[in-house]
A and B are shown apart, each in its own frame.
Chain A
Amino acid sequence: MNQPPEITFSGHFMLEGRELFDACFVMPSARWTCLLGPSGVGKSTVLRLLLGLETGGVFMGNISSSDGQPVAGRISYMAQSDLLLPWLSVTDNLMIGASLRGETGDQKRAVTLLERVGLGAHGHKKPGALSGGMRQRAALARTLMEDRPIVLLDEPFSALDAGTRADMQELAAELLSDKTVLLVTHDPAEASRLGDQILVMGKTGMDVWPAPQMPAIRAVDAPETLDCQSKLLAHLRALAA
């Protein structure tokens, strides 16, 4: 696969006549960028702007990619809710993108991807028959199925129990290693494990937070991870106060 593009985001966003944020950042190619910050500072808005979705406000600025191609249409998206359609089998859920574009889905690829996320035996089941962790794995497989160079993740693991969350982080890090990834999260531990770059968004603007030196994905109990996590948590608490 070709090198995924680097994405540059810069500009400010107005909501109901008042500035919500003024931000400028770069998502490096084939790296994980983690975006943290208190609720309501506009993390999700950044995500929606990148995706080209309705935000209810006005954005003045620029979103560009290093290869000069438009960003829209080259991003796949995974949310906190798995958004699997309950009436479709897991395999059909993986192929929903093709159905929505009026194309025929690649069943073979869907089966291969399900095997990669460890759901090989569950393709025929309806999402309702799967556990929360399995459903998020299916959603991850659907994200991969779209095969886009840029992936945006909106707190995709936050509803999972701690063990499942750690497993999912490792799986996602492995499977999305060749993509330019932006992960919006509330969890300093998650950002410390996964972030090649960590961004903290506050009311005053956006800052780069020093990520641990060792390459991602880092062990949960590595001293560097734990150190980064505790300092980040203290910083976030100060921001929210």
Chain B
Amino acid sequence: MRKLDFLLAILLGLGIWQVLVVITGAPHFILPSPWRVAKAAYFSRALIAENALVTITEVVLGLLLGTLLGMATALQLTLFKTAERLMLPILVFTQAVPVFALAPLLTLWFGYGMGSKVVMAVLIIYFPVTSAFHDGLTRIDRGYLDLAKTMGGARMQILRHIRIPAALPSLGSGLKLAAVYAPIGAVIGEWVGASKGLGYLMLLANGRAKTDLMFACLIALACLTVILHSLVGLLAKRLTAYAQGETRSGP
């Protein structure tokens, strides 16, 4: 039933798109029809795949590095109260700087290759991951901490056995946000300066009035993001199920 809904939604979207093309009578280099875009996607499939692979690599690397960095920061903020007091305002301030505005600078520092795009993705997901995990680590039922203290628990052990497992659902929500943001970071990095990647290809196609190819790239990018989001969503579900003590075979 849900698969059918999904299919219907896609058909509806395509229908509206086609109707718009017919009503406006726009030339194909302004608004190509779905069929034109499908043809462009088919003929340029190798080109799109090659560039998509670059973008995927950037996004996945960015996600991994950003997650590790964000988790490490959150753990450190939780362990050291002074770090929390000093770092938290700085972290919030850095969020006030639009990351997109940094893209040219990052290209200057890390070059036209993958490096600057990975850094861009890392920067864009670092805060959501840090903030979500830190929230989970600190917003914990005081009763658990009291009990742990009366048992003579050491700070590191409390972190390991109580805080981290209890924070896994929050980390999952942070990761789901990160999965949506990371591709944005990578593509913006590619727009500013790159020789490969979906963002680069979109810019190239746009410049040559190959609007149908640009639409094909856009759809490929959206599909990638949706797939990534679902995969990370599955992981988040597993993390939550673990923290709630649900076994997969259980009810």
Contacts and interface: CB of A to CB of B under 8 A. Distances in A.
B161 A100 contact: yes
B143 A79 contact: yes
Interface string A174-188: 000000000000000
Interface string B205-242: 00000000000000000000000000000000000001
Given A85-B162, A101-B152, A77 B243 contact: no
B168 to A, nearest CB: 8
A73 B146 contact: no
Interface in A82-116: 83, 85-88, 96-97, 99-102
B45 to A, nearest CB: 45
B250 interface: yes
Contacts of A88: 245
A129 to B, nearest CB: 7
A101 B141 CA distance: 20
A77 B147 contact: yes
B250 A129 contact: yes
Contact of A101 (B146, B151, B247): B151
Contacts of B150: 51-53, 75-77
Contact of B247 (A48, A81, A126): A126
Interface residues of B, number: 25
B143 A81 contact: yes
Given A86-B245, A126-B245, A128-B244, A100 B146 contact: no
Contacts of B162: 85, 100
Given A86-B244, A87-B242, A100-B161, A77 B146 contact: yes
Contacts of B147: 77, 79, 83
B104 interface: no
Contacts of A51: 146, 149-150
Report the contact-size class of chain A (Cβ under 8 Å from the partner).
20 to 34
Nearest to B156: A102
Contacts of A52: 149-150
B82 interface: no
A102 B154 contact: yes
A28 interface: no
B150 to A, nearest CB: 5
B148 interface: yes
Given A53-B149, A83-B143, A128 B246 contact: yes
B158 interface: yes
Contacts of A86: 243-245
Contacts, number: 74
Of the listed residues A76, A79, A87, A127, the one surrounded by the most CB atoms of chain B closer than 10 A to its CB is A87
Contacts of B146: 48, 51, 53, 77, 79
A85 B244 contact: no
B144 interface: yes
Nearest to A80: B143
Given A127-B245, A129-B250, A102 B151 contact: no
Contact of A100 (B148, B243, B244, B246): B148
A101 B242 contact: no
Nearest to B168: A87
B245 A128 contact: yes
B34 interface: no
Contacts of A129: 245, 250
B157 interface: yes
B152 A100 contact: yes
Contact of A99 (B141, B157, B166, B250): B157
Interface in B154-185: 154, 157-158, 161-162, 165-166
Nearest to B242: A87
B246 A85 contact: no
A83 B144 contact: yes
A186 B172 CA distance: 40
A147 to B, nearest CB: 11
A77 B166 CA distance: 21
6 contacts: A77-B150, A96-B161, A100-B158, A100-B161, A101-B151, A102-B154
Interface of A: 48, 51-53, 73, 75-77, 79, 81, 83, 85-88, 96-97, 99-102, 126-129, 146
Given A86-B244, A96-B148, A128-B244, 5 more contacts: A79-B143, A85-B144, A97-B152, A102-B154, A126-B247
Q: Which 5 A/B pairs are nearest by Cβ-Cβ distance?
A: A100-B153, A126-B245, A86-B245, A97-B151, A77-B150
